[in-house]
Chain A
């Protein structure tokens, strides 16, 4: 295991060669903005020269020569004319020329008070802001540049969640825009303690990452650890929170996700209230929350929106389904090829009759059908929507029914594969359901070799592995192992709300940072 850890950490730390064009973006070679406009013009033209959408114009501003830079494809041109050019025209009436940075700031308060303005010191900042859709104004003789946010606000509207659907509860979901996502969380948690810290990751993509937590309840050690790991990430590109998840999680070589992800604002808000830390990555609707424990993957936000009896019932169903989804095929193989005596007498004859004439051993039969199903499933996800029907017809009718009629597989096996497949979809988090897919094949093979004895070995190995997993220092099996009695109220069943007053004990740390123990324990639950 140490070997793997080392490889992973080396990969994390490894410096990939950066592209030549980003020399100006490199903070290590920070150069201050020049006061000579000519020099500036040359420099930025060199950077953006080949881009057709780059615009660099000379303007008169407040009695001075100035430059205005932006990328036409990134900005809203209406904003530039309304918010900048009109005001720049007004500045012509000003009598005094501005010559110092201090005067620039006063100037900004007079003319650009209502817009989002940043002051820039370095050349690489100018480049980054231009790339982000800002319009940068440089004035001759002044070392400070002014970046005005004119980014076009084109983005997907807030829609219903596609991946985690619920029947009752908030329907909105995160979008690709980080500011929209933060607003969706802030709208739910109106608490000054809610902190949003910004990070920038990815040498080429410069992706914004925001970690969000409630300062009063989040474990500061975990927050520190997350900051440290995000800062340690050294890659060229981050496109999805999945990239980040793999780079900051505790262990990569495991089928189980050690970071939770959701595109539901209510789920993320509930996690934050619980003391977890969310990481929002710009450009993806999936928000990470951490730390996470195994039992979190069996909870759905709807559990708390409907009655506790029904919630407890469906939660037990989820546990049963997950167990079935990775153990059932192995049980079938174990019973039919090794332990005939464990099958009830009446059933054994029916099973035997079904297997009459089936040419393959049970393990080949089941691998055949499971692989077929995996292919269908993958095709179902990847195919263009237009051919969707064709795949489902071929999948269900041709392969399922025809295989039985042709005598290649037995009837019961089709039932088992179907049940297994459906059971694996019950898990609220898709990536967690995927864990059972991998485990299932492992368990099938070991059972085929060793019978139920092998199945037990397999299960023991999986449980041992689960017990060894950590998510930012939290044992993955908590609150089952270590067993925490007071947390059992919200594991297999959900107790009524009135009794769920405390945060999970495994989330808390010994040290307190300025908050009393009471306020730390009070509050909501997810």
Chain B
């Protein structure tokens, strides 16, 4: 009896799965990047970048291209993904997708319908970057080669992550971040913008990798500002960093001027952002408080940094610079685009729920007239391994 029972259990367990999704590694092509543009005949034109794995196997490398791109038009991405074998040899696997580039002309019309597919599909992970191509076609972004990784999307992935870690200026927007901000009342989405420096036509040749000065290179271009799922404008890289400061940036480098009119640079290694909201006199008041800890990494001034007073002076200058930059960017967004990409509405939702409920339907209008205060506190900890520079002795 017990034997029968055990066999029954095993049979049930086996029935719960099966070999239906069995795919040998050499029966699939891995898609690392996708580019979405407006189609001519159909709604979309989809370009996929699949990896030519033989180029990455050490012994099997032949100097051919590392990736192959293929473009098809169709009305639904879901169908296109499986139809790609019109031109490509193998079954596509999307689990290693790193970058999805959306063309700006398409983004202007809204990307919601496309995103719902990505969210629904079990094949995609949530860890790809969602970026907007500016000034060039999206498909050109994923076909611009680079000597180090030779897979454009992998290069971008590493580029974005390093940028975010070292300087800031890259908003790490993933799929779920994007979709949840679309539906949020107190925030509008942003995405990173990329463009090509150089000539896009030459970029898709492996020979582009054979020179020191590349003919084409994919470069970060700041932020794309969305109103719900429609692209309405851009912020540059500097402004992108200011934006990220309001989102609790950890690490960056700031250049400011000393009281005597020379440049100095501070590396912030630890900073905290705290947003306080209130609603007075018929307008929201937003106070952004930053505490920034940093080291002085360069100063072109001859004044030695060996006195506490000098530190205080520089701290004050850096503080002023940070406040001015952040406030400038927020004001720019208020005036130019009138959408709350900073999530102040969300903060207010948490801090003053009743008030926000009454104004949430026209929050963007409220955001436009909001009063912004930025208070930065800069603490300089160290000054490198020299207190007195040789510049002091140079006449």
Contacts and interface: CB of A to CB of B under 8 A. Distances in A.
Contacts of A457: 13
Given A350-B56, A353-B56, A341 B22 contact: no
Contacts of A453: 16-17
Contact of A352 (B3, B17, B26): B26
Contacts of B98: 345
A355 B25 contact: yes
Contacts of A352: 25-26, 30, 51, 53, 56-57
A388 interface: no
Interface stretch (A184-192, A286-294, A356-364, A486-494): A356-364
A512 interface: no
A337 B55 CA distance: 21
Contacts of B3: 1, 3
A341 B95 contact: yes
Contacts of A357: 26
B22 A338 contact: yes
B154 interface: yes
B95 to A, nearest CB: 3
A340 B54 contact: no
Contact of A337 (B2, B16, B24, B51): B24
Contacts of A355: 24-26
Contacts of A356: 26, 53-54, 57, 60
A357 B93 CA distance: 19
A340 B23 CA distance: 9
B14 interface: yes
Given A341-B95, A341-B125, A362 B14 contact: no
B363 to A, nearest CB: 39
A337 B27 CA distance: 9
Nearest to B21: A338
Interface in A446-480: 448-451, 453-454, 457
Contacts, number: 86
Given A1-B2, A362-B24, A362-B25, A340 B18 contact: no
B60 A450 contact: no
Contacts of A3: 3
A341 B30 CA distance: 10
B25 A340 contact: yes
A451 B22 contact: yes
B25 A337 contact: yes
Interface string B361-395: 00000000000000000000000000000000000
Contacts of A358: 26
Interface secondary structure of A, over-half rule: helix
Given A341-B95, A361-B24, A451 B58 contact: no
Nearest to B124: A341
A450 B11 CA distance: 13
Given A353-B56, A353-B60, A356-B57, A345 B14 contact: no
A450 B24 contact: no
Interface in A325-354: 336-338, 340-341, 345-346, 348-354
A349 B25 contact: no
A351 B28 CA distance: 12
A350 B58 contact: yes
A362 B27 CA distance: 11
Contact of A345 (B2, B19, B28, B154): B154
Contacts of B58: 350, 353
Given A353-B53, A358-B26, A450-B14, A348 B96 contact: yes
Nearest to A460: B13
A450 B55 contact: no
Contacts of B32: 345
Nearest to B157: A345
Contact of B54 (A353, A450, A451): A353
Given A348-B30, A353-B55, A450 B96 contact: no
Interface residues of A, number: 30
Contacts of B16: 453
A340 B26 contact: no
Contacts of B53: 349-350, 352-353, 356
For chain B, which range describes its interface: under 10, 10 to 19, 20 to 34, or 35 or more residues? Answer: 20 to 34
A1 B22 CA distance: 34
A498 interface: no
A95 interface: no
B47 to A, nearest CB: 20
Interface string B111-126: 0000000000000010
A361 B24 CA distance: 6
A448 B21 CA distance: 11
A444 to B, nearest CB: 14
A52 B50 CA distance: 85
A241 B393 CA distance: 91
B22 A337 contact: yes
Given A341-B96, A355-B24, A362-B25, A450 B18 contact: yes
A337 B51 CA distance: 18
A338 B57 CA distance: 21
A353 to B, nearest CB: 2
Given A349-B30, A450-B19, A354 B2 contact: no
B25 to A, nearest CB: 5
A349 B18 contact: no
Interface string B82-114: 000000000001011010000000000000000
A349 B19 CA distance: 23
A354 B57 CA distance: 6
Nearest to A4: B3
B22 A340 contact: no
B93 A340 contact: yes
A349 B22 contact: no
Given A350-B58, A356-B26, A345 B17 contact: no
Nearest to B55: A353
A149 to B, nearest CB: 53
Contacts of B25: 336-337, 340, 348, 351-352, 355, 362
A168 interface: no
Contacts of A1: 2-3
B21 to A, nearest CB: 6
A33 B341 CA distance: 112
A454 B54 CA distance: 30
A50 interface: no
Contacts of B30: 340, 348-349, 352
B55 A340 contact: no
A338 B20 CA distance: 9
A121 B28 CA distance: 84
Contact of B96 (A345, A354, A361, A451): A345
A2 interface: yes
A382 B24 CA distance: 37
Given A336-B25, A340-B28, A451 B56 contact: no
Contacts of A354: 57, 60
Interface in A396-454: 448-451, 453-454
Nearest to A2: B2
Contact of A336 (B24, B56, B96): B24
Contacts of B19: 448-450
A451 B21 contact: yes
B158 to A, nearest CB: 10
Contacts of B154: 345-346
A361 B22 CA distance: 10
25 contacts: A3-B3, A336-B24, A338-B22, A340-B28, A341-B125, A345-B154, A349-B56, A349-B57, A352-B26, A352-B51, A353-B53, A353-B56, A353-B58, A354-B60, A356-B57, A356-B60, A357-B26, A361-B24, A362-B25, A449-B14, A451-B22, A453-B16, A453-B17, A454-B17, A457-B13
Given A353-B53, A353-B58, A450-B14, 16 more contacts: A3-B3, A337-B22, A338-B21, A340-B96, A349-B30, A349-B53, A349-B56, A350-B53, A352-B53, A353-B56, A353-B60, A357-B26, A358-B26, A450-B19, A451-B21, A451-B22
Minimum-distance CB pairs A-B, first 7? A353-B57, A341-B95, A352-B53, A349-B56, A355-B26, A353-B53, A336-B25
